[in-house]
Structure 1
Amino acid sequence: MIAIIDYGVGNLRSVAKAFEFLGFSAQVTSDPELVREAERVVLPGVGAFGKSMESLEKAGMVPVVREVIASGRPFLGICLGLQLLFEESFEVFGNETSSFKGLGIFPGRVLRFPAGELKVPQIGWNQIQLAQDTPLFHKVQDGSFVYFVHSYYVKPTDPRLTACETHYAIDYCSGIARENVFAVQFHPEKSSQVGLQILRNFAELRG
C-alpha cells in the first residue's frame, strides 16, 4: 500500500486517484501508524513552508517521515514535499524575510525566485532536463513538460543530489534522487502521461 501523508495541507485526493488509475492501492491518511506500516510513502504539500512544518509536527509525522526514510522504503516528496526535506527555507513576507527549519534530511536551502520579468509564482507547464540516471525517470524523455505551481525552489548543498533541472528565470533543481528518497517540485498527478509514468515508476520501485 502507498500511504499519502495527510497533514492538513493541499488537495491530496488527486494524488491518490492518479495511483488508483494506474492500478495501485493508495490511501490518504493522517494516522502515523498507517504510514509506518506502508510499503511506500508520499509526502505532498502546497502553501507556506513554515506553517506546513508546524502542521507536520502537530500531526506527529516528523519522526515518522524520518523513520520511513531510514528504513529504506521508497519515499516520494511532491512540490512542498520536496522543499520540506531540506534544512531551511527563507520565506518572503512583504519586505521581510523569515527563516524556517525543515526536516533536514538533506543539506540545502529553499529560496524564492528572484524578482524580474517572469511572474512569481511559476504556474504552468515547463521542461525538465534530466541530470542523473534514476529509476524515477524510467521511460521519461529529457526535455519533457510537466506542471508547476510554486514561488520557491530548492538549492541543494550537494549538486549530485539533483535528478532534474528546470529553467525559470534561473536554472534550478526541480527534482532530487538519492537511494530510496525521491522528490519533485512539479505535480506529477497533474502532468499527463509523463507524470503518470513517474508515479508508475515510483509505485514499482523495490524497497
Structure 2
Amino acid sequence: MPPRVVVFDYGSGNLRSAQRAMERTGADVTVTSDPNAALDADGLVVPGVGAFSACMAGLKQAHGDRIIGRRLAGGRPVLGICVGMQVLFDKGVERADPQAEDQVTPGCGEWPGTVERLDAPILPHMGWNTVRAPQDSQLFAGITPQDRFYFVHSYAVRKWELAFDNPRMAPPRVTWAEHGEPFVAAVENGPLWATQFHPEKSGDTGARILANWVAILPQT
C-alpha cells in the first residue's frame, strides 16, 4: 500500500502543484480541509503562499494549528512548505509599507524564532538558489551542493533559536541558504520537516526532496 498523504487545504498554497508533485513520488494523495483525514494520514503537507498573517488566520480557521500539534504529539510526520514552514515558528513580523508599524502575528510555536523581512538589496528573493545542508540530512540525501531550489519570498527566519541539549535525541538538522544574508532554508526535527523553498517547483531536485520525505512515512 502506498503511503497516504494529505495536502492540507486551508485557503493558501499551491495545492494542485503540491498534489501533482507528491503523486509523482508514488504516494496516495488527497487535497482536503477535513480534519479527520488530516489527522489520520501517514503524512501531512502544509503549503502556504502570501502573507504570514493571512496564512495563519486561514490555518487557525481550519483548525490546522491544532491538527499539526496533535500529529506531532503522536510522532506523525508533517511537512511545511514556504509560508507553511514559516507559520511553524513563534511569530511573524510584517510591515505593509515603510510608514506603517510592524504587524506581529503569533504562529504555531512549534519552533522558537521570528519570521521577518530579509536584509537584502533585492526583494522578493525569487529564483534558484543553492543551500547548505548538514552532512547527515535525510531530507537532502542524494542532493549535491551544486543543486538548486526555487525560492519566492521576502521574509524568512534569520536566526535559529532552538537550544538543544538532550543527549538521547538527535538534534534538529538545519539547512541554510543566502540572499543578502543567511536564512533558514529547511529544518528536520523529528516528525516535523519543512522547507522555505518550493520543492514542487524545483524540478528533479525538488522531486528528490519529496521522495526523501515520503520514504520516512509510516504506512498504516
Q: What TM-score does the superposition give when structure 1 sets the normalisation length?
A: 0.94
CA distance in 2, matches of 1:206, 1:101: 29
Could you tell me which amino acid in structure 1 is paired with residue 181 of structure 2? Answer: I
4+ runs of 1 displaced by more than 6 Å? none
After superposition, where does 1:21-36 map in structure 2 within 5 Å? 21-36=24-39
Are positions 1:104 and 2:100 aligned together?
no
CA distance in 2, matches of 1:104, 1:78: 16
Preserved contact between residue 106 and residue 156 of structure 1 (Cα < 8 Å): no
CA RMSD of aligned residues (A): 1.4
CA distance in 1, matches of 2:34, 2:59: 12
Which residue is 1:62 aligned to? 65
Identical aligned pairs, as a percentage? 37
Are positions 1:191 and 2:184 aligned together?
no
Which residue is 2:167 aligned to? none
Deviation per residue, 1:31-54 (Å, 9 max, x gap): 111001101111110011111111
| Number of equivalences | 205
Preserved contact between residue 23 and residue 29 of structure 2 (Cα < 8 Å): yes
Are positions 1:167 and 2:178 aligned together?
yes
Are positions 1:177 and 2:180 aligned together?
no
Picking from 86, 89, 94, the partner of 1:91 is: 94
Secondary structure of the corresponding residue to residue 195 of structure 1 = helix
Q: What TM-score does the superposition give when structure 2 sets the normalisation length?
A: 0.89
Using the TM superposition, give the Cα deviation of residue 132 of structure 1 relative to its aligned residue in structure 2, in angstroms.
4.9
Which residue is 1:148 aligned to? 151
CA distance in 1, matches of 2:13, 2:193: 20
Are positions 1:158 and 2:162 aligned together?
yes
More deviation, 156-165/43-52 = 156-165
Using the TM superposition, give the Cα deviation of residue 171 of structure 1 relative to its aligned residue in structure 2, in angstroms.
1.2
Which residue is 2:166 aligned to? none
CA distance in 1, matches of 2:54, 2:22: 27
Could you tell me which amino acid in structure 2 is paired with residue 107 of structure 1? Answer: P
Using the TM superposition, give the Cα deviation of residue 67 of structure 1 relative to its aligned residue in structure 2, in angstroms.
0.6
Which residue is 2:123 aligned to? 120
Preserved contact between residue 137 and residue 173 of structure 2 (Cα < 8 Å): no
CA distance in 1, matches of 2:50, 2:68: 19
After superposition, where does 1:71-90 map in structure 2 within 5 Å? 71-90=74-93
Secondary structure of the corresponding residue to residue 135 of structure 1 = coil
Secondary structure of the corresponding residue to residue 193 of structure 1 = helix
Could you tell me which amino acid in structure 2 is paired with residue 204 of structure 1? Answer: A
Preserved contact between residue 125 and residue 146 of structure 1 (Cα < 8 Å): yes
- As a proportion of its length, which structure holds more strand? 1
After superposition, where does 1:36-47 map in structure 2 within 5 Å? 36-47=39-50
Preserved contact between residue 163 and residue 177 of structure 1 (Cα < 8 Å): yes
Secondary structure of the corresponding residue to residue 72 of structure 2 = helix
Could you tell me which amino acid in structure 1 is paired with residue 161 of structure 2? Answer: T
CA distance in 2, matches of 1:47, 1:138: 29
Using the TM superposition, give the Cα deviation of residue 10 of structure 1 relative to its aligned residue in structure 2, in angstroms.
2.4
CA distance in 1, matches of 2:96, 2:209: 34
Listed as ranges, the gaps of 5+ residues in structure 1 are none
Listed as ranges, the gaps of 5+ residues in structure 2 are 164-170
CA distance in 2, matches of 1:179, 1:60: 22
Preserved contact between residue 87 and residue 107 of structure 2 (Cα < 8 Å): yes
CA distance in 2, matches of 1:158, 1:143: 28
